[in-house]
Structure 1
Amino acid sequence: MKRQHRRYTWKDGKSLELGEKSLVMGILNVTPDSFSDGGKWNSDTLAVSHTTDMVKDGADIIDVGAESTRPGHQVLTAAEETERLMQFLPDVLKVSMVPVSVDSYHYETMEKALSAGAHMVNDIWGFQYDDGSMARVSAAFDVPVILMHNQETEEYGDDIIEDLKHFFDKSIEIALSAGVKTENIILDPGIGFSKNVEQNMEILTRLDELTLAFPCSWLLGVSRKRFIGAILDTDAAERDEGTAAVNLWGAEKGCTIYRVHDVKTTARELKVWDALRLFHKEGE
């Protein structure tokens, strides 16, 4: 399946190329309550150490989040989130040899993070949480933006894929109206957010209907999600093999970036998958 090709460069010398190579986004949760690794990295020393380890293991991007978005999570104000994030972000940026994205839906937090040198925006509400302020901040800094599907309930119309398409149409319209460049937009189907097991499965089985419908690169974030636990009957710590299987499914369906906890396993599996895919392509 054809992938979108993009190349991003930043003033600090970092760069990122989207296209033939599958990219791994390593999750750095500096939160006390994330569903899989809450409290493991929420000190400056631990965050810096884990960043270094993930880059060594093959991460192409580090994604920093200061508010857990698991079901029943503690909601933070923008000020609280910013205060927590800025305890870690400056030092993470210093040691990371790869671009750093920030996972937030508060434009105030994002503006502070981008001013500090963060490279990418990761918005779990796809620019639809506020009045367009997040989109305007993103446009002002001219950075890549990840726009994820999300909604308040698990209620969908007759066709869940059509609902997601309408959501992304709106997100892209907001982005472009604010001045975000088309080539800076990356989409994420939001697996595990406002979706039950069956809904997640349907989106994944029909994922190519989304990846073919928009001229954007796609991120897949399924790491240790509950639907994998439902299939395997395991808790979060025992879902990495299941995550790997879904990531390879996503690769076949046209995704490019994979947001994961287990960077080493993901980097290795995707490197082999890429090698086979490219070898087959050259033989055609």
Structure 2
Amino acid sequence: MSKTWNLGTRSLSLEQTPLVMGILNTTPDSFSDGGKHFDPQVAIDVALQMQADGAAIIDVGGESTRPYSDPVGVDEELQRVIPVLDGLRGQLSIPISIDTSKSQVARAAIDAGAEIINDVTGLEGDPEMAGVATATGVGVCVMHMQGTPQTMQDQPSYANVVEEIYDYLMQRYQTCRQLGIQADRICLDPGIGFGKTHEHNLTLLQNTKRFCQLPAPLLIGHSRKGFIGKVLGDKQADRTAGTLGVSLAVAAAGAHVVRVHDVKPTVDALKLFQASR
């Protein structure tokens, strides 16, 4: 595996990992922070603060993918994300990832400065998405999801959750390569919480080292998700500390990127983790 993640215009070093990807949802209905960053200026200010707090990437999304969320159209998604990207142009020195499964949104976001496509459908939801990735030369993050956000939590089922998702990610990596996406532009994500039970999520996290054997960097997106409340025995509990615990566990196992809502506590915890290893 390459020691860098190539984004076309620049590369991110994977020597000191995990990198922290800050979540910036410009939606009214995301599961944890829906509505908080719906105003473009608020979202811009939050992104700049995440950069100051040590984020390596800002992941901007305009459509909620929480369980049973309603899909939005291309125009509405663009209205949510493009003003934020335009406002960050020239102010942000770290790369922006566009969290979308729509090729039109991805292309417009790249035109507005995004350098990574983060697609929860693994570049399968829109037949044009892989072509956008190939043509633009940006980085891509390919995620596993069983079903769709509208169906994924109905009855998630696997014979062997680790090996099935490992095989899926390997197959998608090979397909991306065949479609012309360079190996060092690809990042892989097992999709914590996307068509998995709480037990599936924990099993996947316990097997982070297995996923680090894939030929591309590994992203873990566990932040504030329901399994944390399940482990804590309180669905209403503040999940910040639980998220930090998982971040440190996957860091120890070799994960390359952690996608989180709370950037500063994560960056600080990882600094002390590295210093005291």
Letter matched to residue 23 of structure 2? I
- Kindly state the Cα deviation for residue 236 of structure 1 after the two structures are TM-superposed: 6.3
RMSD: 1.8
Please give the alpha-carbon distance, in whole angstroms, between the structure 1 residues aligned to 2:211 and 2:238.
29
**Structure 1 CA distance, aligned partners of 2:229 and 2:31?**
12
Tell me whether 1:185 sits opposite 2:181 in the alignment: no
Count of residues paired in the alignment: 271
- 1:262-273 to structure 2, matched below 5 A, reads 262-273=262-273
Q: How does 1:174-253 map onto structure 2 within 5 Å?
A: 174-212=175-213, 214-235=214-235, 238-253=238-253
Deviations 1:95-118 (A, max 9, x none): 222100000011111011112211
User: Match for 1:142: what amino acid?
Assistant: G
Give 2:15's match in structure 1, choosing from 5, 15, 19.
19
CA distance in 1, matches of 2:14, 2:162: 25
C-alpha change, 1:82 and 1:240, in structure 2 (3 Å) is same
Look up the equivalent residue of 1:72 and give its one-letter code. Y
Give yes or no for contact 1:36–1:236 (8 Å, CA) kept in 2: no
Aligned partner of 2:87: which letter?
A: D
Report what 2:136 is aligned to.
Answer: 141
Please list, as runs of the form range in 1=range in 2, the aligned pairs for 1:77-96 lying within 5 A after superposition: 77-96=73-92
Amino acid at match of 2:36: K
Question: 1:116-141 CA distances to partner (integer Å, 9 max, x unpaired)?
Answer: 2111110111112133x211111111
Gaps of 5+ in 1: 278-284
Name the structure 1 match of 2:47: 51
Alignment of 1:123 onto 2:119: yes
Distance in 2 between residues matched to 1:263 and 1:172, nearest whole Å = 28
Q: Once superposed, which parts of structure 1, at least 4 consecutive aligned residues long, lie more than 6 Å away?
A: none
- Preserved contact between residue 7 and residue 115 of structure 2 (Cα < 8 Å): no
Secondary structure of 2:193 counterpart: coil
Q: Counterpart of 1:210 in structure 2: which amino acid?
A: F
Residue type at the aligned position of 2:53: D
Aligned partners of 2:157 and 2:196 also within 8 Å: no
Letter paired with 2:240: D
In 2, the alpha carbon distance for the partners of 1:227 and 1:169 equals 26
Distance in 1 of aligned mates of 2:190 and 2:118: 13
In structure 2, how many angstroms separate the alpha carbons of the residues matched to 1:237 and 1:90?
A: 36
SS of equivalent residue, structure 2 residue 77: helix
Deviation at 1:79, TM superposition (A): 2.9
The runs of 5 or more residues in structure 2 that have no matched partner are: none
Alignment TM-score, normalising by the size of structure 1: 0.90
Counterpart position of 1:280: none
Equivalent pair of 1:57/1:264 in contact (CA under 8 Å): yes
Q: How does 1:32-71 map to 2 (within 5 A)?
A: 32-71=28-67
Q: 1:56 to 1:63 in 2, by over 3 A?
A: same
8 Å contact from structure 2 (residues 17, 255) kept in 1: no
Confirm whether residue 112 of structure 1 aligns to residue 113 of structure 2: no
Greater share of residues in helix? 1
More deviation in 85-94 or 228-237?
228-237
- Classify 1:142/1:237 alpha carbon distance in 2 versus 1 (closer, same or farther; 3 Å): farther
SS in structure 1 of the partner of residue 228 of structure 2:
helix
- Cα deviations by residue, 1:198-223 (Å, 9 ceiling, x for unpaired): 111111112212211x1111111111
Q: Secondary structure at the match of 2:276?
A: helix
Aligned AA (1:140): A
On the 8 A contact 1:224/1:236 being kept in 2, the answer is no
Write the distance in 2 (CA, Å) between the matches of 1:100 and 1:55.
Answer: 11
Task: Give the 3 Å change call, closer, same or farther, for CA 111–236 of structure 1 in structure 2.
Answer: farther
Q: Residues 94, 235 of structure 1: CA spacing in aligned structure 2 closer, same or farther, 3 A cutoff?
A: farther
Map Cα deviations across residues 195-250 of structure 1 (whole Å, 9 max, x no partner): 011111111112212211x1111111111000001111345671010001111111
